[in-house]
């Protein structure tokens, strides 16, 4: 048996009939999301392409699929001149270039239009490349890069002030507001009802009334506001019916102090790790809420648009209403489109006071 024959055989075995059927569908659809996953070759011309190539499609019987460009070239196929499958895809190049630009200047504000110009593409082209390749917006990428650099600077011994300056964070409170969203919110690993969770709670006084703070080993899992400890503890038991819940007087006082200070309207001073059970959608909404600056408000539909589900306004309202960590995830900053405050689990007057303090 010749080498060529052996390779043809092994190559055909690499792509199962099932995969080939999927690949053919993506090829016919010119699906850009399939770029990189496989390449298709045309037997009659011995040319291979990316799935998104604009060139005419061969007959199904003339199409072959390869996992890598190397596989295609070993079979004697040459790269197409239109889609240049042997080069790095344009979207990847655009994102790589954007990362370089962002890393060289991590300014507080990312201007997408300006970034696009620096990368040498249109704003739409930049957004498209990000959607395709990175799964996040240029602003989210900038925030992630900033945070990464910030942590690296701190590890290397820079003072917080220097690190803040270097990474373009406006102030200390900014980085804490963001790090909640990026670092602290741990994924839901517990079963519903808090089975297997050990939750400790403590209460403190504030001008908004009693504050109950509950936490696991990993972070804060509930912040309730109300008028009496027994009622708040009952709510906690209802929220986590299967968890082990114990009082701990004076526990995790740094977290409690921070939360009470925020309830009084102070800017964040320290990071608060969170340990929340949440669906993916709730998580996205809560993270979005953490991006609302102090002193500002958003409407439910603005949040729905921001999480990429413009029609899920009611689901957003539900996610806000079920936020277990008031103040830390600032659901009080969401208001109705007509400017009215709308509901707040802990009472409208508390919402009103919180907003007035943060604006002051
Ligand atoms: Zn092509």
Is the confidence at residue 132, as pLDDT, over 90? no
Residue whose tokens read 């604006």:
359
pLDDT recorded at residue 107: 60
Look at residue 2 and tell me whether its pLDDT is greater than 50.
Answer: no
Question: What's the 337 CA to ligand 1 centre distance in angstroms?
Answer: 49
Per-residue pLDDT, 168: 60
309 — pLDDT class (breaks 50, 70, 90):
confident
DSSP 181: I
Q: What is the mean pLDDT of residues 37-51?
A: 93
Structure tokens at 343: 């509901």
Joined together, the tokens standing for residue 92 give 């990847």
d(CA 333, CA 346): 13
Query: Which of the 8 DSSP states describes residue 22?
Result: H
Yes or no: say if 115 and 124 are a contact pair by the CB < 8 Å rule.
no
- 320 counts as catalytic: no
Q: What is the rounded CA–CA span in Å between residue 211 and residue 273?
A: 18
Q: In which residue are the tokens 């990312």 written?
A: 110
Q: What are the residues whose beta carbon lies below 5 Å from ligand 1 (ion)?
A: 49, 53, 55, 80, 82-83
Structure tokens at 167: 């990474």
Between 176 and 120, name the one with better pLDDT: 120
What confidence tier does 257 reach under pLDDT thresholds 50, 70, 90?
Answer: very high
Mean pLDDT check: name the lowest of 150-154, 163-167, 326-330.
163-167
Mark whether 83 is an active-site residue. Answer: no
Nearest of 85, 90, 78, 151 to residue 122 by alpha carbon: 90
Question: What pLDDT is stored for residue 101 in this prediction?
Answer: 82
pTM above 0.85, yes or no: no
For the chain, the average pLDDT equals: 80
- pLDDT for 192 equals 52
pLDDT of residue 272: 84
Q: What is the pLDDT of residue 185?
A: 36
- At residue 70, the pLDDT reads 87
**How far does the centroid of ligand 1 lie from the alpha carbon of residue 319, in Å?**
45
Rg, C-alpha atoms of the chain:
26
- Measured distance CA(298)–CA(247) in Å, rounded: 36
> Contact, 89 vs 53, CB < 8 A?
no
Residue 177 has pLDDT above 60, yes or no: no
Tell me which range, 84-93, 194-203, 320-329, is most confidently predicted by mean pLDDT: 320-329
Reference 327, options 254, 274, 281, 284; nearest CA is 274
| Residues pairing with 244 in the sheet | 198
User: What's the Cα-to-Cα distance from 123 to each of 106, 138, 143, rounded to whole Å?
Assistant: 19, 11, 19
């Amino acid at each position: 048996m010749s080498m060529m024959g052996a390779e043809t055989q092994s190559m055909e075995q690499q792509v199962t009939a099932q995969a080939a059927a999927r690949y053919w569908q993506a090829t016919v659809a010119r699906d850009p999301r399939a770029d990189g996953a496989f390449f298709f070759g045309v037997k009659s011309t011995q040319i291979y392409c990316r799935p998104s190539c604009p060139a005419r499609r061969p007959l199904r019987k003339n199409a072959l699929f390869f996992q890598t460009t190397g596989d295609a070239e070993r079979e004697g196929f040459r790269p197409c001149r239109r889609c240049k499958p042997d080069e790095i895809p344009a979207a990847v190049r655009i994102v790589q270039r954007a990362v370089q630009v962002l890393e060289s200047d991590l300014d507080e504000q990312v201007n997408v239009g300006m970034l696009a110009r620096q990368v040498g593409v249109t704003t739409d082209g930049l957004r498209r490349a990000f959607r395709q390749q990175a799964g996040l917006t240029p602003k989210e990428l900038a925030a992630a890069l900033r945070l990464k650099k910030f942590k690296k600077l701190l590890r290397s011994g820079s003072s917080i002030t220097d690190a803040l300056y270097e990474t373009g964070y406006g102030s200390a409170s900014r980085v804490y507001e963001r790090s909640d969203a990026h670092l602290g919110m741990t994924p839901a690993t517990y079963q519903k009802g808090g089975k297997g969770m050990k939750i400790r709670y403590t209460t403190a006084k504030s001008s908004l009334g009693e504050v109950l703070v509950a936490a696991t080993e990993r972070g804060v899992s509930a912040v309730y506001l109300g008028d009496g400890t027994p009622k708040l503890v009952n709510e906690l038991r209802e929220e986590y019916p299967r968890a082990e819940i114990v009082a701990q007087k004076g526990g995790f006082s740094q977290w409690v102090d921070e939360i009470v200070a925020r309830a009084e309207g102070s800017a964040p001073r320290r990071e608060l790790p969170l340990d929340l059970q949440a669906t993916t959608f709730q998580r996205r909404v809560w993270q979005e809420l953490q991006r609302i600056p102090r002193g500002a408000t958003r409407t439910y539909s603005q949040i729905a648009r921001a999480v990429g589900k413009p029609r899920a306004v009611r689901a957003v309202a539900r996610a806000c209403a079920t936020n277990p960590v008031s103040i830390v995830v600032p659901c009080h900053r969401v208001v109705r489109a007509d400017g009215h405050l709308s509901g707040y689990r802990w009472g409208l007057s508390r919402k009103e006071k919180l907003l007035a303090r943060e604006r002051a």
